[in-house]
Structure 1
Amino acid sequence: MRRSRDPRARTARAERANGTGRVRVAGVRTVWHTVDDGDFFCPGCGGDRSYRRRTGHRRFVLLGVPLVPRGSAGPVLECAACRAHFGAEALDHPTTTRLAAMLRDAVHAVALAVLAAGGTEARAARETAVETVRAAGYPECSEEQLTALLAALGADSVPVEIELHEALAPLGPHLAPAGRESLLLQGARIALADGLYRAGERDVLAAVGAALCMDADDIERLLAEAARTPS
């Protein structure tokens, strides 16, 4: 008997021979339902994506007919791009846009804290603070705005350490070591703009490093190196 030369026929015969062409008779199927959506940093794609938060119900299926419930599934986050599923902990990582905003606000908080500790009498310190804040993402920042904010902070009873911790602690885990060091050194440059560190400025910079979970020895080393570097 002459065999067909049709490659599709040969493929079908091969599938029947190894079982891959058989129809699945029974199994467990999950039916998913979307409960909400949003944006997140997808661990699979490595970038900002939309997601759907989904819950599901498992059922034993026989010949395509759902029969016996087998429990619930999820909740999971389903990436709209790669369709992969992730746990709710994926939302702990900020989106790229959110991370940029957190970093911008952190620089602003550090600049205000250093100025509050060292005073605003020195023009060089004020100008360096304004340049630092503008470069971080506030191009409209001015000396008058910073001075007004410092006056408001002076009337606030919340300690500077608490303000810094609230601004920096959520950011620290998402920064590489070089990013944490850069943030600390930006504050150091403001403090050094009008001369050597004052005691209050050193305390604030130490609080910045601590809020970023930096080692105390690394903080001292970086501050010392910044003081030896010509401006």
Structure 2
Amino acid sequence: MRSARNSRGGKVGVCGIRTSWNTVGDGEFFCEECGGDRNYRRRTGRRRFAVLGVPVLPRGCTGPVVECAACHTHFGTEVLDHPTTSRFSAMLRDAVHTVALAVLAAGGTGSREVLDRAVSAVRSAGFAECTAVQLVDLVEALEADTGRFMPEVNPEGALLAIELHEALEPLTPHLAPSGRESILLQAARIALADGAYSPAEREVLGTVGNALALAPDEVVRLLASARTVS
């Protein structure tokens, strides 16, 4: 860019490329620069060659970009694939709840120790008002719903494969390996609260591990380690 001095001795641009931005949408996203949830504007731009600050020749379009309303940093639109903090918390809460129900449906709800372990896991995930009665009622409702429980496919316990994959697969890319392992270990400890794994519990836990993108040998290792971790 060439420049010239103005009457006060400063420099002003003579020519260069200027971008005129147009907002085409907005919302909330997780801003990596701010480190938290922020409002954003989705923007497209028109680039023009300018002389003395006056646009004269078009130079094409740019964007779309995502602009943080707080720090004004521009990001590619793929940043919107990352859930907000509040959305991530809700996804994790729902995933743990679904996993706990699947394990209970597979192993039964007759053990107080199992119910207490499941209630503790669900409460820790965000359902602070969860009770054992609520979980038992939900398991009974699932058992009565043959379209979800599918006893004709697996009469020994709950498959719930569709629900598990729907709850876990969107969450998995946003979890560190330790986070994915933690969900499986938590489920395993619910199953182990009343003794060794039943075949139905192992099947459900294997489905959980698969939905969390854990390798089969890693699932086996974690299920074994859950026996020795309180």
Fold match, TM over 0.5? yes
Structure 1 window deviating more from structure 2 (167-176 vs 46-55): it is 46-55
**1:61 aligns to what SS in structure 2?**
strand
Please tell me whether residue 72 in structure 1 is matched to residue 78 in structure 2.
no
CA distance in 2 between counterparts of 1:185 and 1:208 reads 10
Bigger radius of gyration? 1
Letter in 1 for 2:14: V
2:97 equivalent among 94, 97, 108 = 108
Structure 1 window deviating more from structure 2 (214-223 vs 43-52): it is 43-52
Q: Report how far residue 141 of structure 1 moved.
A: 0.8
Please tell me whether residue 37 in structure 1 is matched to residue 17 in structure 2.
no
Aligned position for 1:223: 223
1:157 equivalent among 137, 147, 150 = 147
Percent identity between matched residues is 63
The Cα offsets for residues 156-194 of structure 1, whole Å up to 9 and x where unpaired, read as 413511110100011111111111111111101110011
The Cα offsets for residues 120-144 of structure 1, whole Å up to 9 and x where unpaired, read as 1222212211121112111111122
CA distance in 2 between counterparts of 1:32 and 1:123 reads 61
Aligned position for 2:122: 133
Q: Report how far residue 22 of structure 1 moved.
A: 4.1
The Cα offsets for residues 19-58 of structure 1, whole Å up to 9 and x where unpaired, read as xx54321111111111221111112222221111111111
Map 1:16-31 onto structure 2 (within 5 A). 22-31=11-20
Aligned position for 2:156: none
Please tell me whether residue 93 in structure 1 is matched to residue 82 in structure 2.
yes
Aligned position for 1:182: 182
Aligned position for 2:201: 201
**What root-mean-square deviation, in Å, do the aligned CA atoms of Structure 1 and Structure 2 show?**
1.8
TM-score computed with the length of structure 2 as normaliser: 0.87
Gaps of 5+ in 1: 1-14
Structure 1 runs of 4+ aligned residues shifted over 4 Å read none
**1:94 aligns to what SS in structure 2?**
coil
**1:195 aligns to what SS in structure 2?**
coil
Classify 1:79/1:156 alpha carbon distance in 2 versus 1 (closer, same or farther; 3 Å): farther
CA distance in 2 between counterparts of 1:206 and 1:53 reads 41
CA distance in 2 between counterparts of 1:60 and 1:84 reads 23
Structure 1 window deviating more from structure 2 (91-100 vs 154-163): it is 154-163
CA distance in 2 between counterparts of 1:69 and 1:151 reads 66
CA distance in 2 between counterparts of 1:96 and 1:178 reads 18
CA distance in 2 between counterparts of 1:134 and 1:40 reads 26
Gaps of 5+ in 2: 149-158
**2:17 aligns to what SS in structure 1?**
strand
CA distance in 2 between counterparts of 1:23 and 1:44 reads 31
Aligned position for 2:153: none
TM-score computed with the length of structure 1 as normaliser: 0.86
CA distance in 1 between counterparts of 2:52 and 2:95 reads 58
CA distance in 2 between counterparts of 1:214 and 1:48 reads 29
